[in-house]
Amino acid sequence: MVATAKRRHAMLDLARRAEELNFAGIACPSLGATIGFCVSLAHTTNSIKFWTSIQPIYYSHAIEMANTAAHIHEISNGRFGLGLGVSHGAVINRLGATTATPLADIKNYLETMKSQERFSGDLPPIYLAALRQKMLMMASEISSGAIWANASRKSIATQLASIPESRRNEMFFANMVPTVISDDIEAARAIHRKTLVGYVTLPNYRNYWRSCGYDQQIDAFEKILSGSAKETRNAEIISAMDNQWLDDCTLSGDADSVRDGLYNWSQLGVLPIAVMSSTSGGQAQAISQLFDAFN
């Protein structure tokens, strides 16, 4: 859930409804003052788990993050999880941050947080944003879990198998899956295509999808990115998106199809986070459609 301006009370109402319906948890993206929203969730819900997915480490100093995370952890009676990541080039540039060493940055950040624990109190479970193997392996070494976004369903099992079974069984794994419930599958796919345009422009995502076997798809994207004018680039990228690649990273279809898709993700050992959009309304409408599908 994203608690944007003027919609924060409405999102808290939906969070309480998710709790009533016994959903597994609430994932809170970094839009809309996520940490503040998590504080509110700690007070306005009673049993449902919730976590950030994903809070960029460059938004807050590690000591302040430790203090705040420990506070939410305590007030929520252990229901809070802290998902952290290095984010993307566009966010880093906007913040004026500089980094050439994302693995070292996040390792140092966690070490600083843990050194503050004697003052802040117990920290919540910490999960790391992971796409490719180096960050996934670091997550298995220094954190309690890993969270993907727009991951390839056909490739995730291979990644998980790289983690020793004893460690894998202790960890939390989740993936943010763009999801649209609609009888018009092409309309749903059209929304996903718009959602994924920004990710296609990011080198780390293209490298990830290439590692999943989508060389031809990524070649097509990179040809557009290197040769097209900015004003036409997004439309060309959308036109180049193949359904096989798109359906591997998203969920589209009627309620039965989406339920099956979420179940299939769970059978891989990965909690699917349904990142909802709708062909007929905004975020609240999309979340209501998800509730109806499981009610």
**Residue pLDDT, tens place only, 179-228:** 999 999 999 999 999 999 999 999 999 999 999 999 999 999 999 999 98
- Residue 89: give its domain's CATH number: 3.20.20.30
Mean pLDDT of 272-291: 96
Domain annotation covers residue 46: yes
Total domain count, the chain: 1
Distance CA 35, CA 260 (A): 32
In DSSP notation, 194-245 reads HHHHHHHT-HHHHHHHHHTT-HHHHHHHHHHHHHS-HHHHHHHHHHH--HHH
Domain annotation covers residue 177: yes
Domain annotation covers residue 51: yes
Domain annotation covers residue 192: no
Domain annotation covers residue 173: yes
Please report the sign of the dihedral spanned by the C-alpha atoms of residue 88, residue 89, residue 91, residue 95. positive
pLDDT tens profile 229-268: 989 999 999 999 999 999 999 999 999 999 999 999 999 9
- Dihedral, CA of residue 37, residue 42, residue 47 and residue 51, to nearest 10: 50
Domain annotation covers residue 58: yes
Q: Which residue has the tokens 């004018």?
A: 229
Residue 155's domain spans which residues?
Answer: 8-183+254-293
pLDDT tens profile 146-189: 999 999 999 999 999 999 999 999 999 999 999 999 999 999 99
Domain annotation covers residue 276: yes
Please report the sign of the dihedral spanned by the C-alpha atoms of residue 220, residue 92, residue 8, residue 43. positive
Q: Which residue has the tokens 């890993």?
A: 146
Global pTM value: 0.94
Distance CA 182, CA 198 (A): 23
Amino acid identity for residue 216 in this structure: Q
The reported pLDDT for the residue numbered 160 is 97
Domain annotation covers residue 214: no
The reported pLDDT for the residue numbered 30 is 81
Closest CA to 148 of 165, 163, 128: 128
Distance CA 120, CA 188 (A): 45
> Could you tell me the two tokens for 79?
């229901």
- Dihedral, CA of residue 21, residue 38, residue 252 and residue 290, to nearest 10: 20
Query: Is pLDDT of 32 > 80?
Result: no
